[in-house]
Amino acid sequence: MFKPKISVILGNVGSCSDRYCTGGYSEPLTVEEMFERVKSIEGVTGVELVGTWHISSSNKNQIKTLLKEHGLQLVSIIPDHFGEAKWKNGAFSNKDAGIRREAVEVTKEMMDIAEELGCSLISLWPGQDGYDYYFQADYIKERTWFEEGVAECCEYNPDIDIAIEYKVKEPRNRSYPSNVYSTLLMVKEIDMANCGVTIDYGHGLVAYENIAESIAVLKKYGDKLFHLHMNDNYTLWDDDMIVGSIHTIPYIEMFYWLKRTGYDRWISTDQYPYREDGRDAVNESVRWMETYIDVVNRLDDNKVEKIINTGNACEASAFLRELLFK
């Protein structure tokens, strides 16, 4: 029985802002209030935190208490390499060696906190590592710096996994870890057992990926899928909408391939419910994910394999139509 563990990025249940309404569309919530909202969502047993936004050396004891009080596991920490002005020209790939050093040290600090709180994953989203204009970047040198920085973090504590989350653009116009293939290439170059990939469903869509195929690729080339972030979008931008609100069949295939490849790590929501109540929007995502999981657990795997092996598109279409509407 395929039953992945579900977690929530803490800020998903809080207040969200954008560049038009920088103060947010609802009243801000405290960390304690957001923990309460996460705990109220049935089926969620883990929480993911953003470094310095939610957790730091100064409040780690408070977080430890909140985790225990609410019966939640700390799944991952996402170091903030994107939300401060100092990272504007990149973190691990910054031309300034001092900033590159700081990116490594920030990551190591979060690794120390993670270990102390029983968390075994750092999920890196290097949103500022890339470029905007032609003739602005040294593509070889900056990718090398990126790989060297991440490798140093991996060596620092081999018991903590580091997963690189890719995104084709935003906030930079072009990102170095832009799709599953560019990221896997860097992971292979880093060549550390504790270095892998985080797939964000929406990031993959914007990169024109079939997420089921991306999962299969990471399985084939080293079993490098370490983490998942779930949301949805119209494929034009990283809208971070409710899971399943746009895509259905691709999500069924994605969960099927998670089951087929034996994925047993965590799946987190990663949403920006600007105008919706964050708790309710995340709850809908969890309900959709549980629905997809139930669907793939009820599939006749032999029938699915037969269709895949024949490659008959009409048979696949009939199978899906009957699955959904009969």
Question: Is 32 a member of any domain?
Answer: yes
Q: How many CB atoms neighbour CB 89 within 10 A?
A: 19
Residue 239's pLDDT band, with cuts at 50, 70 and 90, is very high
Alpha-carbon distances, residue 71 vs 30, 224, 285 (angstroms):
18, 29, 21
pLDDT computed for residue 18 by the predictor: 85
Question: Is 96 a member of any domain?
Answer: yes
Is residue 17's pLDDT more than 90?
A: no
Q: Domain residues for 252?
A: 5-300
The mean pLDDT value for 28-41 works out to: 97
Number of independent structural domains in the chain: 1
Question: Is 124 a member of any domain?
Answer: yes
The mean pLDDT value for 145-173 works out to: 98
Question: Is 317 a member of any domain?
Answer: no
Residue 19's pLDDT band, with cuts at 50, 70 and 90, is confident
Rounded-to-integer distance, Cα 53 and Cα 160, Å? 21
Question: Is 45 a member of any domain?
Answer: yes
Question: Is 29 a member of any domain?
Answer: yes
pLDDT computed for residue 238 by the predictor: 97
CATH code: domain of residue 31:
3.20.20.150
Residues 6+ positions from 76 with CB-CB distance below 8 Å: 7, 48, 49, 114, 119, 121, 122, 123, 163, 227, 266, 268
Rounded-to-integer distance, Cα 113 and Cα 74, Å? 11
Question: Is 71 a member of any domain?
Answer: yes
pLDDT computed for residue 257 by the predictor: 98
Residue type, 75: V
Q: Whole-prediction pTM value?
A: 0.97
| 14 beta partners | none
Residue 256, burial from CB neighbour count under 10 angstroms (0-12, 13-18, 19+) = buried
Question: Is 221 a member of any domain?
Answer: yes
Quote the mean pLDDT of the chain. Answer: 97
Residue 283's pLDDT band, with cuts at 50, 70 and 90, is very high
The mean pLDDT value for 43-54 works out to: 97
